[in-house]
Structure 1
Amino acid sequence: MLRTSVLRLLGRTGASRLSLLEDFGPRYYSSGSLSAGDDACDVRAYFTTPIFYVNAAPHIGHLYSALLADALCRHRRLRGPSTAATRFSTGTDEHGLKIQQAAATAGLAPTELCDRVSEQFQQLFQEAGISWTKEENYIFRLSQFRKPLQRWLRGNPQAITPEPFHHVVLQWLDEELPDLSVSRRSSHLHWGIPVPGDDSQTIYVWLDALVNYLTVIGYPNAEFKSWWPATSHIIGKDILKFHAIYWPAFLLGAGMSPPQRICVHSHWTVCGQKMSKSLGNVVDPRTCLNRYTVDGFRYFLLRQGVPNWDCDYYDEKVVKLLNSELADALGGLLNRCTAKRINPSETYPAFCTTCFPSEPGLVGPSVRAQAEDYALVSAVATLPKQVADHYDNFRIYKALEAVSSCVRQTNGFVQRHAPWKLNWESPVDAPWLGTVLHVALECLRVFGTLLQPVTPSLADKLLSRLGVSASERSLGELYFLPRFYGHPCPFEGRRLGPETGLLFPRLDQSRTWLVKAHRT
């Protein structure tokens, strides 16, 4: 049975307000509108987070879930021009006993608590660079679905990733599944959706909450079929059973397919301890966004977060990582290659094929490239495919690790050939000096393009400094070092973009306000 409710729009300009029937329910935020013009179902991709419970303020675990989904969605959009064929949904869940109890403790009506905490989620996600829409939801028996669920998972080894979580769910299914109670007495739980036709019962919160994944893409109207089941749910491991057993069973019972993929991540600890209010060590993500910048904190969570196991947060780790990889390695590389002392014309210099021939091992008076340089070209040339594979396998941290490795290689290339020691006025030095800068700038262009899903503002700043236009930033336009392969380079001779200052200023730990974990 389906019960829909009024949902209040929180979102971007141009999003639509959806008003359905009665009551309050989950709020949904998504990155784009549906498009009837996209009829190629196989190219669509739909990424979801849970709709987060609003009995308490958001923490970095909530933000991490949303950033994983946001980065996966942004990377998918870079692959082609049909951005309307990609959708991302997140939001808040505003029903249930915990909310009723939290509201009573705070001396608030449930709707007042929901308004307050939902606003905190909205502000956090907007500040973190996550875009938003919305709407709402439904009832079931479980024991009959054990074998269908086993067949689904055994026939789809990638349905739940990483693999250890797939294995855990199959272990759960080795046991008999008890039937699931899907309602509570209204006298005990009044903050929720009444069972249709029986006002003495309120629908179980997980039953109405999970249906949001369908209603936000148009269910029960036929349009939802163009997005389902091409769906990836991004969830924390604590709600795996609800998404990997209850939800697929509900769908199978309704004659529908389970989602294409359930991507599961582990939790964040603080200095080796679980975050908890009683310990007083809950990290405020909005404070972190302010102190480490939006791009900096996005990079830290996605670079350090490993879905397979719990990840540890402490302030010094954030400072060390961001200073090392964004300020020094990436920012320093950009500053070196665009400095007027080394690049006085402020252009993309020409690539000399006699200094850097496409075939390694050649000798001659003009050949300057070394074996390590060919290794760099090979590594950066294969980087976009490597990064795409990591995104497809829900390993964003591996994608960023690969980018960081190539940044270090590029810095080694520049250090090895020391362009600051070469002279533009020398007919011997000038072709090689231009080639060194050309290769380094091409590497930077690849890094900037690939970092767009994770650090959108920093990547924009980097690409703008290189003079890369908005229409040249998709993965389809990412042709690395074409002169090396005998093709013309559209950037050669082009003026660089305007100076924009440091790409990522270093964080001074002695003066930065550190987000210390206070214990009671």
Structure 2
Amino acid sequence: MFNRVAVSGLGGILRPTIHRTWKPLPCSVCLAKRWSSVCSERKYFITTPIFYVNAQPHIGHLHSALLADASHRFQFLKYKNGLKKTLFSTGTDEHGLKVQQSAANKGVHPLEFCNEISQKFRNLFDAANIGYTHYVRTVEERHVNAVHHFFQTIVDRGHIYQGAYSGWYCISDEAYLTDVQVKEITLQSGIKQFISIESGHPVEWNSEENYMFRLSGFQEDLKYWLKDDCRVQPKRFLEELRKWLEDDLKDLSVSRPKDRVSWGISVPNDENHNIYVWVDALVNYLTVAGFPNLTSWPPDVQVLGKDILRFHGIYWPALLMAADLEPPNKLLCHSHWTVDGQKMSKSIGNIVCPYNCIEAYSSDGLRYFLLREGTPHSDNNWSDVRVARLLNAELANSLGNLLNRCTAPSLNPSQEFPSLNLQYLQNMSAAGKELIELVHNLPKEVENHYDNFNFYRAVDVIMTVVHSANNFVQEEKPWELKTLTDRTKLDSILRITLETVRVVGIALLPITPILANKLLNSIGVMQQNRYWECIENVFSKANEKYLSSSFKLGSRTKLFTKLKV
């Protein structure tokens, strides 16, 4: 068993000396230290939740990964010389009762079951071009070692005791719930049943002897940590956490008897208990950072779904504080995808298969739709018809046609970025002036939305510029100028349009990396010129020399194939 100074025995409570040396550091100070311009290393550490392998991956899982991937890619765009150190972790959560039961139902060993499903998640992320740097599985030896070390640390610091625990247990959520977290309902059969208010999953009353974490002792520390309004986004989820902390926190059961949950990581020095799957799972973020020899901590951003907000917003920071480690700088909590207003569920049979979606719409098409339509603060509804119509309207028609117009051999026979007559900028039409202003404002507006994980708003700004560019071309009618001997005006129109396409292409790199690079290749933009600073102040006086020069386009291409609706 544990060192008896740190553990309360079943036969009588021993009062340990609890070590409390963690001192909260404001988020703004933490970020300032990490991102200072004088810092020799630019670091960025972002995580997705690790995904539970009791079922196949769906678009909700992919959406979590896409939010992290788009943010990670944007960080590289912002620094021309690249980031010196970056961590983008994802992976799979493979222990617990649900996995144990799923494997038994299939008649296979749990590890065999986990290997199959974990590989499906990895294949999906690779197919969707998720550029993770670390993929972690909770069955790995490095993770088991990290969990044992972490658990022993909080034991040694006096935050674990042993005792009997009774309460409502939800197998689906792998969590104990309090009375205020459950309600009684009547099923269609007339049978009464208690369910979790938050998830809707059934619960049952359970009593057992467990190891307990003194969560109640961190209530004030958690309130302090959540004082920063930027700590959790969107703000509605921050307020939800603050509201939960208005009630007294109960201590957390952090183990399960092995005779009930056999598939898991053993409690150090006690072969009769396994560590609670959620404690095991949360430690994955430390595993990828090299715990106990941490080289990058804390994470800049942790992406999670709203159904696991309590675990990441209360249990996780408290556990870190108990180990004298800094909690994450920020949590990005997102809402769910629904089908016809219903949450996707294996039992209902309305799961949207992301593999089928990639085959139907392409990986970038699916990425575009999920990031374009996915609003973190509220649930989003999936519709195949909506996907096809949106991709046709915005990628095939608006953006694809704009690219075709300014690279068409009939208008651009020399296939080049022609030079811009600077006098033309002084005498532009109203549509031209509007376009120049939108292009000028785009970098700052889109950067702000990317930094705040509002990718749907960023894409809206980008598409507003695309629509403005199409209006500009329509008003200027360059096809009526192609027979003129003097190409000055025509070339100026083409240059402004091509510069707009270039800006849009770079701005879309975090959202649709394959499509955006395809677009930039087609207009001849060199790889070293695909950074955020390359789209700032495009039509300013400082760029006169660049705008007055010309250079060759790349090979023409069809940007996005129109879908059948």
TM range (shorter): 0.7 to 0.9
| 1:356 and 2:355 aligned | no
| 1:190 and 2:262 aligned | yes
| 1:92-241 mapped onto 2 (5 Å cutoff) | 92-132=92-132, 133=134, 134=136, 135-136=142-143, 137-138=146-147, 139=151, 140-154=213-227, 156-223=228-295, 227-241=296-310
| 1:85 and 2:85 aligned | yes
Counterparts of 1:215 and 1:431 in 2: how far apart (Å)? 61
Structure 1 residue 215 displacement after superposition: 1.7
Counterparts of 2:104 and 2:39 in 1: how far apart (Å)? 49
The 3-state SS of whatever aligns with 1:257 is coil
Instruction: Report the equivalent of 1:457.
Output: 514
Contact 2:48–2:302 (Cα < 8 Å) also in 1? yes
Residues 242-279 of structure 1: CA distance to partner in whole angstroms, max 9, x if unpaired?
00000000111111211000000000001222211222
Instruction: Report the equivalent of 2:452.
Output: 393
Residues 129-151 of structure 1: CA distance to partner in whole angstroms, max 9, x if unpaired?
01343451333320001111001
| 1:270-309 mapped onto 2 (5 Å cutoff) | 270-309=339-378
Contact 1:327–1:505 (Cα < 8 Å) also in 2? yes
Letter of the structure 1 residue corresponding to residue 57 of structure 2: P
Instruction: Report the equivalent of 1:417.
Output: 476
Instruction: Report the equivalent of 2:172.
Output: none
Letter of the structure 2 residue corresponding to residue 194 of structure 1: S
Residues 258-313 of structure 1: CA distance to partner in whole angstroms, max 9, x if unpaired?
10000000000012222112221111001101110010000000000000000000
Letter of the structure 1 residue corresponding to residue 297 of structure 2: W
Contact 1:373–1:413 (Cα < 8 Å) also in 2? yes
Instruction: Report the equivalent of 1:516.
Output: none
Contact 2:303–2:332 (Cα < 8 Å) also in 1? yes
Instruction: Report the equivalent of 1:256.
Output: 325
Find 1:444's aligned residue among 492, 496, 501.
Answer: 501
Is the alpha carbon distance of 1:415 and 1:101 closer, same or farther for their aligned partners in structure 2, counting shifts above 3 Å?
same
Contact 1:390–1:399 (Cα < 8 Å) also in 2? yes
Contact 2:67–2:303 (Cα < 8 Å) also in 1? yes
Instruction: Report the equivalent of 2:61.
Output: 62
Counterparts of 2:38 and 2:475 in 1: how far apart (Å)? 52
Contact 2:42–2:83 (Cα < 8 Å) also in 1? no
Contact 2:336–2:379 (Cα < 8 Å) also in 1? yes
Contact 2:369–2:387 (Cα < 8 Å) also in 1? yes
Letter of the structure 2 residue corresponding to residue 281 of structure 1: N
Say which is worse superposed, 169-178 or 123-132, in terms of deviation.
123-132
Instruction: Report the equivalent of 1:46.
Output: 45
Contact 1:442–1:480 (Cα < 8 Å) also in 2? no
Structure 1 residue 43 displacement after superposition: 3.3
Letter of the structure 1 residue corresponding to residue 83 of structure 2: T
The 3-state SS of whatever aligns with 1:487 is helix
Counterparts of 2:41 and 2:222 in 1: how far apart (Å)? 24
Tell me, which stretches of 5 or more residues in structure 1 are unaligned? 3-37, 358-366, 510-520
| 1:28-47 mapped onto 2 (5 Å cutoff) | 40=39, 43-47=42-46
Counterparts of 2:527 and 2:250 in 1: how far apart (Å)? 54
The 3-state SS of whatever aligns with 2:544 is coil
The 3-state SS of whatever aligns with 1:355 is helix
Counterparts of 2:56 and 2:40 in 1: how far apart (Å)? 37
Structure 1 residue 480 displacement after superposition: 4.8
Structure 1 residue 84 displacement after superposition: 3.5
What TM-score, normalized by structure 1, do the two folds share? 0.85
Residues 97-154 of structure 1: CA distance to partner in whole angstroms, max 9, x if unpaired?
1100111111111001101100110110000001343451333320001111001111
Structure 1 residue 453 displacement after superposition: 0.9
Q: Identify, as 1 or 2, the structure richer in strand.
A: 2
Contact 1:355–1:432 (Cα < 8 Å) also in 2? yes
Is the alpha carbon distance of 1:336 and 1:390 closer, same or farther for their aligned partners in structure 2, counting shifts above 3 Å?
same
Contact 1:149–1:249 (Cα < 8 Å) also in 2? yes
Counterparts of 2:543 and 2:260 in 1: how far apart (Å)? 74
Structure 1 residue 222 displacement after superposition: 4.1
Find 1:341's aligned residue among 392, 402, 410.
Answer: 410
Instruction: Report the equivalent of 2:440.
Output: 381
Say which is worse superposed, 128-137 or 335-344, in terms of deviation.
128-137
Structure 1 residue 405 displacement after superposition: 0.9
Counterparts of 2:110 and 2:479 in 1: how far apart (Å)? 65
Residues 410-440 of structure 1: CA distance to partner in whole angstroms, max 9, x if unpaired?
111111101111135333xx21111110000
Letter of the structure 2 residue corresponding to residue 494 of structure 1: F
Contact 1:439–1:481 (Cα < 8 Å) also in 2? no
Aligned residue pairs: how many? Answer: 457
Structure 1 residue 39 displacement after superposition: 10
Structure 1 residue 393 displacement after superposition: 1.1
Letter of the structure 1 residue corresponding to residue 218 of structure 2: F
What TM-score, normalized by structure 2, do the two folds share? 0.78
Structure 1 residue 230 displacement after superposition: 4.3
Counterparts of 2:338 and 2:40 in 1: how far apart (Å)? 39
Structure 1 residue 484 displacement after superposition: 5.7
Tell me, which stretches of 5 or more residues in structure 2 are unaligned? 3-36, 137-141, 152-212
Is the alpha carbon distance of 1:482 and 1:377 closer, same or farther for their aligned partners in structure 2, counting shifts above 3 Å?
closer
Residues 330-357 of structure 1: CA distance to partner in whole angstroms, max 9, x if unpaired?
0010001000001111011111112222
Percent identical pairs in the alignment equals 46
Residues 362-403 of structure 1: CA distance to partner in whole angstroms, max 9, x if unpaired?
xxxxx3x12332221111111111111111112011111110
Counterparts of 1:388 and 1:280 in 2: how far apart (Å)? 39
Instruction: Report the equivalent of 1:18.
Output: none
